[in-house]
Protein backbone atom coordinates (compact mmCIF):
# COMPACT_ATOMS: atom_id res chain seq x y z
CA UNK A 1 0.00 0.00 0.00
CA UNK A 2 1.26 3.50 -0.75
CA UNK A 3 2.19 5.68 2.18
CA UNK A 4 -0.48 7.88 3.65
CA UNK A 5 0.57 10.92 5.62
CA UNK A 6 -2.76 12.53 6.66
CA UNK A 7 -3.77 11.22 10.09
CA UNK A 8 -6.50 8.60 10.26
CA UNK A 9 -9.54 10.24 11.85
CA UNK A 10 -10.84 9.18 15.27
CA UNK A 11 -13.17 6.21 14.86
CA UNK A 12 -10.66 4.51 12.57
CA UNK A 13 -9.73 0.95 13.41
CA UNK A 14 -6.22 -0.13 14.27
CA UNK A 15 -5.56 -3.80 13.60
CA UNK A 16 -3.08 -5.35 16.02
CA UNK A 17 -1.35 -8.65 15.29
CA UNK A 18 -0.85 -10.45 18.57
CA UNK A 19 -3.00 -10.83 21.67
CA UNK A 20 -0.57 -10.33 24.55
CA UNK A 21 -0.06 -7.59 27.10
CA UNK A 22 1.60 -5.21 24.65
CA UNK A 23 -1.46 -5.36 22.40
CA UNK A 24 -3.69 -4.90 25.44
CA UNK A 25 -1.86 -1.79 26.64
CA UNK A 26 -1.76 -0.40 23.08
CA UNK A 27 -5.52 -0.87 22.70
CA UNK A 28 -6.13 0.78 26.08
CA UNK A 29 -4.04 3.77 24.95
CA UNK A 30 -5.90 4.04 21.64
CA UNK A 31 -9.29 4.48 23.31
CA UNK A 32 -8.84 8.00 24.77
CA UNK A 33 -7.80 9.24 21.32
CA UNK A 34 -11.01 7.85 19.86
CA UNK A 35 -9.55 4.90 17.95
CA UNK A 36 -10.83 1.35 18.05
CA UNK A 37 -8.71 -1.75 17.91
CA UNK A 38 -9.21 -5.13 16.28
CA UNK A 39 -6.95 -7.90 17.53
CA UNK A 40 -5.75 -10.75 15.30
CA UNK A 41 -4.32 -13.73 17.17
CA UNK A 42 -4.63 -17.50 17.27
CA UNK A 43 -6.14 -17.81 20.76
CA UNK A 44 -9.33 -16.43 22.33
CA UNK A 45 -9.59 -14.89 25.80
CA UNK A 46 -6.04 -13.51 25.80
CA UNK A 47 -4.96 -10.19 27.39
CA UNK A 48 -5.60 -7.99 24.33
CA UNK A 49 -8.94 -9.45 23.28
CA UNK A 50 -10.30 -8.88 26.79
CA UNK A 51 -10.22 -5.10 26.22
CA UNK A 52 -11.34 -4.97 22.56
CA UNK A 53 -14.78 -5.64 21.12
CA UNK A 54 -13.32 -6.86 17.82
CA UNK A 55 -11.08 -9.85 17.40
CA UNK A 56 -10.21 -12.36 14.72
CA UNK A 57 -9.13 -15.66 16.21
CA UNK A 58 -7.22 -17.42 13.44
CA UNK A 59 -3.80 -18.78 12.59
CA UNK A 60 -1.19 -16.32 11.31
CA UNK A 61 -1.05 -18.20 8.01
CA UNK A 62 -4.81 -18.26 7.42
CA UNK A 63 -4.91 -16.29 4.15
CA UNK A 64 -8.70 -15.93 4.13
CA UNK A 65 -8.87 -14.62 7.69
CA UNK A 66 -5.98 -12.24 6.99
CA UNK A 67 -7.72 -10.85 3.92
CA UNK A 68 -10.94 -10.25 5.88
CA UNK A 69 -8.95 -8.63 8.70
CA UNK A 70 -7.21 -6.31 6.23
CA UNK A 71 -10.65 -5.28 4.91
CA UNK A 72 -11.98 -4.60 8.40
CA UNK A 73 -9.24 -2.24 9.62
CA UNK A 74 -7.61 1.03 8.53
CA UNK A 75 -4.02 0.31 9.55
CA UNK A 76 -2.23 -2.73 10.97
CA UNK A 77 0.53 -2.86 13.54
CA UNK A 78 2.02 -5.71 15.56
CA UNK A 79 3.00 -6.37 19.15
CA UNK A 80 5.68 -9.00 18.44
CA UNK A 81 8.38 -9.20 15.79
CA UNK A 82 8.06 -12.86 14.88
CA UNK A 83 5.13 -12.23 12.57
CA UNK A 84 5.69 -14.66 9.67
CA UNK A 85 7.08 -12.86 6.62
CA UNK A 86 4.28 -14.22 4.41
CA UNK A 87 1.64 -12.83 6.81
CA UNK A 88 3.23 -9.40 6.73
CA UNK A 89 3.41 -9.47 2.94
CA UNK A 90 -0.26 -10.44 2.52
CA UNK A 91 -1.29 -7.66 4.87
CA UNK A 92 1.02 -5.04 3.39
CA UNK A 93 -0.51 -5.67 -0.06
CA UNK A 94 -3.99 -4.93 1.26
CA UNK A 95 -3.69 -2.41 4.05
CA UNK A 96 -1.20 0.04 5.60
CA UNK A 97 1.28 -1.90 7.74
CA UNK A 98 3.23 0.15 10.27
CA UNK A 99 6.09 -0.43 10.92
CA UNK A 100 6.67 -1.53 7.32
CA UNK A 101 7.35 -5.23 6.57
CA UNK A 102 11.01 -4.68 5.66
CA UNK A 103 11.57 -3.73 9.31
CA UNK A 104 10.20 -7.09 10.43
CA UNK A 105 12.50 -8.95 8.07
CA UNK A 106 15.49 -7.28 9.74
CA UNK A 107 14.33 -7.40 13.36
CA UNK A 108 13.29 -11.06 13.38
CA UNK A 109 16.70 -12.22 12.20
CA UNK A 110 19.64 -11.55 14.54
CA UNK A 111 22.15 -11.78 11.73
CA UNK A 112 20.33 -9.35 9.44
CA UNK A 113 19.85 -7.04 12.42
CA UNK A 114 23.56 -7.00 13.29
CA UNK A 115 24.55 -6.61 9.61
CA UNK A 116 22.17 -3.65 9.37
CA UNK A 117 23.64 -2.04 12.50
CA UNK A 118 27.16 -2.57 11.22
CA UNK A 119 26.20 -1.07 7.84
CA UNK A 120 25.01 2.15 9.49
CA UNK A 121 28.09 2.35 11.70
CA UNK A 122 26.60 1.30 15.04
CA UNK A 123 28.77 -0.82 17.32
CA UNK A 124 27.65 -4.27 18.45
CA UNK A 125 29.36 -7.23 20.12
CA UNK A 126 31.77 -8.96 17.70
CA UNK A 127 29.76 -11.61 15.84
CA UNK A 128 29.99 -14.21 13.09
CA UNK A 129 27.36 -16.32 11.33
CA UNK A 130 27.08 -20.03 12.12
CA UNK A 131 24.66 -21.56 9.65
CA UNK A 132 25.60 -25.15 10.64
CA UNK A 133 27.96 -27.00 12.94
CA UNK A 134 30.98 -26.61 10.62
CA UNK A 135 30.44 -22.91 10.36
CA UNK A 136 30.11 -22.83 14.16
CA UNK A 137 33.72 -24.02 14.52
CA UNK A 138 34.93 -21.30 12.16
CA UNK A 139 32.83 -18.63 13.90
CA UNK A 140 34.20 -19.55 17.33
CA UNK A 141 37.77 -19.52 15.98
CA UNK A 142 37.13 -16.00 14.68
CA UNK A 143 35.24 -14.53 17.65
CA UNK A 144 36.98 -16.36 20.50
CA UNK A 145 35.54 -17.45 23.84
CA UNK A 146 33.68 -16.68 26.01
CA UNK A 147 30.91 -16.25 23.49
CA UNK A 148 27.21 -16.96 23.12
CA UNK A 149 25.63 -19.09 20.42
CA UNK A 150 22.18 -17.70 19.61
CA UNK A 151 19.57 -18.92 17.20
CA UNK A 152 19.19 -16.38 14.41
CA UNK A 153 15.40 -16.55 14.59
CA UNK A 154 12.68 -17.07 17.19
CA UNK A 155 14.83 -16.59 20.29
CA UNK A 156 13.62 -14.36 23.12
CA UNK A 157 14.03 -14.13 26.90
CA UNK A 158 17.21 -16.21 26.58
CA UNK A 159 15.57 -19.05 24.62
CA UNK A 160 17.79 -20.54 21.92
CA UNK A 161 20.96 -19.18 23.59
CA UNK A 162 23.91 -21.25 24.74
CA UNK A 163 27.05 -19.89 26.43
CA UNK A 164 30.31 -21.03 24.81
CA UNK A 165 32.92 -21.24 27.56
CA UNK A 166 36.45 -22.60 27.23
CA UNK A 167 35.44 -26.24 27.61
CA UNK A 168 32.02 -26.18 25.90
CA UNK A 169 31.58 -28.91 23.29
CA UNK A 170 30.39 -27.22 20.10
CA UNK A 171 28.33 -30.19 18.89
CA UNK A 172 26.40 -30.26 22.15
CA UNK A 173 26.01 -26.48 22.12
CA UNK A 174 24.57 -26.64 18.61
CA UNK A 175 22.12 -29.38 19.56
CA UNK A 176 20.97 -27.37 22.57
CA UNK A 177 20.53 -24.16 20.58
CA UNK A 178 18.77 -25.85 17.66
CA UNK A 179 16.68 -28.09 19.95
CA UNK A 180 13.18 -26.76 19.51
CA UNK A 181 13.72 -24.50 16.50
CA UNK A 182 13.11 -26.00 13.04
CA UNK A 183 15.86 -25.28 10.45
CA UNK A 184 17.83 -23.45 13.09
CA UNK A 185 20.68 -21.24 11.98
CA UNK A 186 23.01 -19.60 14.47
CA UNK A 187 25.10 -16.54 15.24
CA UNK A 188 28.08 -16.47 17.56
CA UNK A 189 28.48 -13.32 19.61
CA UNK A 190 31.42 -12.39 21.77
CA UNK A 191 30.31 -12.18 25.39
CA UNK A 192 30.33 -8.54 26.40
CA UNK A 193 31.67 -7.63 29.85
CA UNK A 194 29.08 -4.96 30.49
CA UNK A 195 28.63 -2.76 33.54
CA UNK A 196 24.97 -2.13 32.82
CA UNK A 197 22.20 -3.03 30.40
CA UNK A 198 20.22 -0.04 29.21
CA UNK A 199 17.55 0.62 26.62
CA UNK A 200 16.03 3.52 24.79
CA UNK A 201 12.41 3.55 23.68
CA UNK A 202 12.21 5.76 20.63
CA UNK A 203 9.30 6.79 18.43
CA UNK A 204 9.19 7.97 14.84
CA UNK A 205 6.12 9.45 13.22
CA UNK A 206 4.83 9.21 9.66
CA UNK A 207 6.41 12.55 8.75
CA UNK A 208 9.78 11.56 10.22
CA UNK A 209 9.38 13.34 13.56
CA UNK A 210 11.34 11.73 16.40
CA UNK A 211 10.87 11.45 20.14
CA UNK A 212 12.80 9.36 22.65
CA UNK A 213 12.39 8.57 26.32
CA UNK A 214 15.30 8.87 28.69
CA UNK A 215 17.60 5.78 28.68
CA UNK A 216 16.72 3.31 31.43
CA UNK A 217 18.62 0.59 33.24
CA UNK A 218 17.39 -2.99 32.86
CA UNK A 219 18.14 -5.80 35.26
CA UNK A 220 17.46 -9.36 34.19
CA UNK A 221 16.91 -12.52 36.17
CA UNK A 222 17.11 -15.85 34.35
CA UNK A 223 17.27 -13.90 31.05
CA UNK A 224 13.92 -12.22 31.71
CA UNK A 225 13.60 -8.52 32.43
CA UNK A 226 13.02 -8.20 36.17
CA UNK A 227 13.34 -4.49 36.76
CA UNK A 228 13.70 -1.20 34.90
CA UNK A 229 15.11 1.90 36.56
CA UNK A 230 14.24 5.22 34.95
CA UNK A 231 16.42 7.11 34.35
CA UNK A 232 19.48 4.87 34.07
CA UNK A 233 22.21 6.06 36.45
CA UNK A 234 24.66 6.94 33.66
CA UNK A 235 26.46 10.14 32.70
CA UNK A 236 24.80 12.83 30.63
CA UNK A 237 27.32 12.02 27.87
CA UNK A 238 26.28 8.37 27.70
CA UNK A 239 22.64 9.37 27.86
CA UNK A 240 23.12 11.60 24.86
CA UNK A 241 24.96 8.88 22.95
CA UNK A 242 22.29 6.27 23.67
CA UNK A 243 19.53 8.60 22.48
CA UNK A 244 21.45 9.49 19.32
CA UNK A 245 22.00 5.81 18.49
CA UNK A 246 18.30 5.03 18.86
CA UNK A 247 17.34 7.96 16.66
CA UNK A 248 19.84 6.98 13.98
CA UNK A 249 18.43 3.44 13.87
CA UNK A 250 14.80 4.44 13.37
CA UNK A 251 15.74 6.99 10.74
CA UNK A 252 17.82 4.47 8.81
CA UNK A 253 14.92 2.00 8.88
CA UNK A 254 12.37 4.61 7.78
CA UNK A 255 10.53 3.34 10.84
CA UNK A 256 7.02 4.35 11.92
CA UNK A 257 6.01 3.42 15.45
CA UNK A 258 7.77 2.76 18.73
CA UNK A 259 10.97 0.73 19.02
CA UNK A 260 12.92 -0.56 22.02
CA UNK A 261 16.69 -0.48 21.46
CA UNK A 262 18.57 -2.70 23.92
CA UNK A 263 22.17 -1.79 24.65
CA UNK A 264 25.16 -2.72 26.79
CA UNK A 265 27.38 -0.18 28.53
CA UNK A 266 30.88 -1.66 28.47
CA UNK A 267 33.51 -1.45 31.16
CA UNK A 268 35.40 1.16 29.14
CA UNK A 269 32.31 3.34 28.83
CA UNK A 270 31.13 2.51 25.31
CA UNK A 271 27.68 1.59 24.11
CA UNK A 272 27.04 -1.59 22.08
CA UNK A 273 23.60 -2.31 20.66
CA UNK A 274 22.31 -5.79 21.51
CA UNK A 275 18.85 -6.03 20.02
CA UNK A 276 16.01 -4.10 18.37
CA UNK A 277 12.34 -4.62 19.25
CA UNK A 278 10.13 -2.91 16.62
CA UNK A 279 7.18 -2.39 19.00
CA UNK A 280 6.48 -1.07 22.49
CA UNK A 281 9.00 -2.62 24.87
CA UNK A 282 8.83 -4.04 28.38
CA UNK A 283 11.43 -1.50 29.49
CA UNK A 284 9.01 1.29 28.48
CA UNK A 285 6.14 0.25 30.74
CA UNK A 286 7.13 2.84 33.35
CA UNK A 287 6.12 5.57 30.86
CA UNK A 288 2.45 4.69 31.49
CA UNK A 289 2.66 6.24 34.93
CA UNK A 290 5.63 8.61 34.78
CA UNK A 291 5.44 10.44 31.44
CA UNK A 292 3.25 12.95 29.68
CA UNK A 293 2.73 10.44 26.85
CA UNK A 294 3.17 6.70 27.38
CA UNK A 295 5.02 4.50 24.91
CA UNK A 296 1.67 2.91 23.98
CA UNK A 297 0.00 6.24 23.21
CA UNK A 298 3.13 7.19 21.28
CA UNK A 299 2.87 4.00 19.22
CA UNK A 300 -0.80 4.68 18.47
CA UNK A 301 0.01 8.28 17.51
CA UNK A 302 2.73 7.11 15.13
CA UNK A 303 0.73 4.39 13.39
CA UNK A 304 -2.36 6.57 12.83
CA UNK A 305 -0.20 9.48 11.66
CA UNK A 306 -0.81 11.90 14.53
CA UNK A 307 2.02 14.13 15.76
CA UNK A 308 4.07 12.43 18.47
CA UNK A 309 3.46 13.40 22.10
CA UNK A 310 5.87 14.67 24.72
CA UNK A 311 8.27 12.02 26.10
CA UNK A 312 9.16 14.10 29.15
CA UNK A 313 8.78 12.41 32.52
CA UNK A 314 7.12 14.06 35.50
CA UNK A 315 8.56 11.47 37.89
CA UNK A 316 11.38 8.99 38.10
CA UNK A 317 10.31 5.39 38.27
CA UNK A 318 11.21 1.81 39.04
CA UNK A 319 9.23 -0.83 37.16
CA UNK A 320 9.18 -4.38 38.43
CA UNK A 321 7.79 -7.22 36.36
CA UNK A 322 5.45 -9.57 38.17
CA UNK A 323 6.68 -12.92 36.92
CA UNK A 324 4.96 -16.18 37.80
CA UNK A 325 3.95 -16.29 41.45
CA UNK A 326 5.07 -12.65 42.06
CA UNK A 327 1.51 -11.79 41.08
CA UNK A 328 0.18 -13.35 44.27
CA UNK A 329 1.19 -10.10 46.02
CA UNK A 330 -1.46 -8.20 44.02
CA UNK A 331 -3.53 -7.16 47.03
CA UNK A 332 -0.60 -5.77 48.94
CA UNK A 333 0.66 -3.97 45.81
CA UNK A 334 -2.77 -2.52 45.10
CA UNK A 335 -2.72 -0.98 48.57
CA UNK A 336 0.75 0.51 48.35
CA UNK A 337 0.84 4.31 47.95
CA UNK A 338 2.97 5.43 44.95
CA UNK A 339 2.74 1.96 43.40
CA UNK A 340 0.86 1.59 40.12
CA UNK A 341 -0.28 -1.96 39.57
CA UNK A 342 -0.93 -3.33 36.08
CA UNK A 343 -2.25 -6.85 35.67
CA UNK A 344 -2.56 -8.47 32.26
CA UNK A 345 -5.59 -10.70 32.75
CA UNK A 346 -3.67 -13.93 32.20
CA UNK A 347 -4.78 -17.24 33.68
CA UNK A 348 -2.67 -19.31 36.01
CA UNK A 349 0.79 -18.01 36.89
CA UNK A 350 3.60 -20.19 35.53
CA UNK A 351 7.32 -19.78 36.14
CA UNK A 352 8.66 -17.20 33.69
CA UNK A 353 5.21 -15.96 32.67
CA UNK A 354 4.81 -12.18 32.75
CA UNK A 355 1.58 -11.66 34.72
CA UNK A 356 1.77 -7.91 35.25
CA UNK A 357 4.06 -5.15 36.45
CA UNK A 358 4.20 -2.56 39.16
CA UNK A 359 5.66 0.92 38.75
CA UNK A 360 6.80 2.93 41.74
CA UNK A 361 7.22 6.64 41.27
CA UNK A 362 9.54 9.05 43.03
CA UNK A 363 10.18 12.75 42.54
CA UNK A 364 12.29 13.54 39.50
CA UNK A 365 16.01 13.50 40.14
CA UNK A 366 15.69 11.28 43.19
CA UNK A 367 15.15 7.80 41.79
CA UNK A 368 13.89 5.10 44.11
CA UNK A 369 16.63 2.57 44.46
CA UNK A 370 15.34 -0.93 44.61
CA UNK A 371 18.47 -2.30 46.22
CA UNK A 372 21.72 -1.17 47.77
CA UNK A 373 23.24 0.26 44.57
CA UNK A 374 25.07 3.51 45.17
CA UNK A 375 22.45 6.18 44.60
CA UNK A 376 25.00 8.99 44.64
CA UNK A 377 26.15 8.26 41.08
CA UNK A 378 25.82 11.05 38.60
CA UNK A 379 22.17 11.53 37.73
CA UNK A 380 22.12 14.93 36.06
P1 LIG B 1 18.89 -11.17 23.98
O2 LIG B 1 17.88 -12.24 23.76
O3 LIG B 1 19.88 -11.02 22.88
O4 LIG B 1 18.25 -9.85 24.37
O5 LIG B 1 19.72 -11.63 25.28
C6 LIG B 1 19.13 -11.78 26.55
C7 LIG B 1 20.11 -11.36 27.63
O8 LIG B 1 21.30 -12.19 27.56
C9 LIG B 1 20.62 -9.93 27.50
O10 LIG B 1 19.72 -9.01 28.07
C11 LIG B 1 21.93 -10.03 28.24
O12 LIG B 1 21.73 -10.03 29.65
C13 LIG B 1 22.47 -11.40 27.84
N14 LIG B 1 23.30 -11.27 26.63
C15 LIG B 1 22.88 -11.38 25.35
N16 LIG B 1 23.88 -11.20 24.48
C17 LIG B 1 25.00 -10.99 25.21
C18 LIG B 1 26.37 -10.74 24.89
N19 LIG B 1 26.82 -10.70 23.63
N20 LIG B 1 27.23 -10.55 25.93
C21 LIG B 1 26.81 -10.61 27.21
N22 LIG B 1 25.52 -10.83 27.57
C23 LIG B 1 24.62 -11.03 26.61
Q: What CA–CA distance (Å, rounded) separates 40 from 326?
A: 29
- Do residue 186 and residue 208 come from a single domain? no
pLDDT category, 3, cuts 50, 70, 90? low
Residue closest via CA to ligand 1's atom 13 equals 223
Please give the average per-residue pLDDT across 345-360, as a whole number: 97
Cβ < 6 Å from ligand 1: which residues? 125, 148, 155-156, 158, 189, 191-192, 197, 220, 223, 262, 274-275
- Per the CB < 8 A criterion, the answer to whether 213 and 295 are in contact is yes
- Do residue 243 and residue 341 come from a single domain? yes
Give the pLDDT confidence score for residue 366 in this predicted structure. Answer: 52
Whether the predicted pLDDT of 369 surpasses 70: no
Whether the predicted pLDDT of 368 surpasses 80: no
User: What CATH number is attached to the domain comprising 19?
Assistant: 3.40.50.20
Residue closest via CA to ligand 1's atom 17 equals 191
Q: Is the peptide bond before 99 cis (omega within 30 degrees of 0)?
A: yes
CA-based Rg of the chain, rounded to a whole angstrom? Answer: 20
Is 267 inside a domain boundary?
yes
Task: Look up the domain containing 29 and give its range.
Answer: 13-97
Neighbours of 136 (CB within 10 A): 23
Neighbours of 64 (CB within 10 A): 8
Q: What CA–CA distances, in Å, run from 183 to 132, 140, 180? A: 10, 20, 10
User: Which of 170, 190, 210 is the endpoint of a domain?
Assistant: 190
Choose which residue among 158, 165, 216 to substitute to test ligand 1 binding: the one with the highest number of ligand atoms within 8 A of its C-beta: 158
Give the pLDDT confidence score for residue 85 in this predicted structure. Answer: 86
Please tell me which residue, 183 or 223, carries the higher pLDDT value. Answer: 223
Whether the predicted pLDDT of 8 surpasses 80: yes
- Per the CB < 8 A criterion, the answer to whether 368 and 70 are in contact is no
Choose which residue among 107, 152, 227, 274 to substitute to test ligand 1 binding: the one with the highest number of ligand atoms within 8 A of its C-beta: 274
pLDDT category, 160, cuts 50, 70, 90? confident
Give the pLDDT confidence score for residue 180 in this predicted structure. Answer: 66
39-74: per-residue pLDDT in tens? Answer: 999 999 999 999 999 999 999 999 999 999 999 999
Q: What CA–CA distance (Å, rounded) separates 199 from 182?
A: 30
114-152: per-residue pLDDT in tens? Answer: 999 999 999 999 999 999 989 999 999 999 999 999 999
Is 320 inside a domain boundary?
yes
Neighbours of 5 (CB within 10 A): 9
Torsion angle of the four alpha carbons 242, 244, 247, 252, in this order, in degrees rounded to the nearest 10: -110
How far, in Å, from the CA of 228 to the mean position of ligand 1? 16
- Do residue 239 and residue 314 come from a single domain? yes
Give the pLDDT confidence score for residue 5 in this predicted structure. Answer: 74
pLDDT category, 350, cuts 50, 70, 90? very high
- Do residue 185 and residue 226 come from a single domain? no
Please give the average per-residue pLDDT across 15-30, as a whole number: 98
Number of folded domains that form the chain: 3
- Do residue 349 and residue 216 come from a single domain? yes
Q: What is the mean pLDDT of the chain?
A: 93
214-255: per-residue pLDDT in tens? Answer: 999 999 999 899 999 999 999 999 999 999 999 999 999 999
The secondary structure of residue 50, as a DSSP letter, is G
- Helix H or strand E encompassing 128: strand 127-130
Give the pairing type, strands 161-164 and 147-151: antiparallel
Whether the predicted pLDDT of 371 surpasses 50: no
Give the pLDDT confidence score for residue 157 in this predicted structure. Answer: 65
Whether the predicted pLDDT of 358 surpasses 50: yes
User: What CATH number is attached to the domain comprising 133?
Assistant: 3.30.1490.20
3-class DSSP state for residue 161? strand
Q: What CA–CA distance (Å, rounded) separates 274 from 110?
A: 9
Whether the predicted pLDDT of 347 surpasses 90: yes
Give the pLDDT confidence score for residue 374 in this predicted structure. Answer: 40
Please give the average per-residue pLDDT across 363-376, as a whole number: 53
- Do residue 86 and residue 184 come from a single domain? no
Give the pLDDT confidence score for residue 154 in this predicted structure. Answer: 82
Residue 83 burial by Cβ neighbours in a 10 Å radius (0-12, 13-18, 19+):
buried
Kindly state the percentage of the chain with pLDDT values over 90.
Answer: 88
Whether the predicted pLDDT of 370 surpasses 70: no
List of residues 6+ apart from 167 with CB closer than 8 A:
none
Q: What CA–CA distance (Å, rounded) separates 65 from 335?
A: 44
- Do residue 209 and residue 347 come from a single domain? yes
User: Which of 175, 190, 205 is the endpoint of a domain?
Assistant: 190
Is 103 inside a domain boundary?
no
From the CA of 159, give the closest atom in ligand 1. Answer: 2
Of 59-73, 212-226, 282-296, 358-372, the range with the lowest mean pLDDT is: 358-372
- Do residue 176 and residue 209 come from a single domain? no
Give the pLDDT confidence score for residue 299 in this predicted structure. Answer: 98
Amino acid sequence: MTAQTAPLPPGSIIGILGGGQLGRMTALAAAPLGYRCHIYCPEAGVPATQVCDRATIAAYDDAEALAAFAQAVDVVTYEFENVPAATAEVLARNVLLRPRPEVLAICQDRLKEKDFLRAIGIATAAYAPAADTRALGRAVAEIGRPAILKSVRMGYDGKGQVPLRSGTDLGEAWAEMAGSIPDASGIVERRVEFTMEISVVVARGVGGDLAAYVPVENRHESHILAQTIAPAPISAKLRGEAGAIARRIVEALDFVGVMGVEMFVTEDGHILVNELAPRPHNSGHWTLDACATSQFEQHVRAVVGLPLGDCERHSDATMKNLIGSDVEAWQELAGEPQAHLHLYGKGAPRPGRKMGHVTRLSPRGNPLRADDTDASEELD
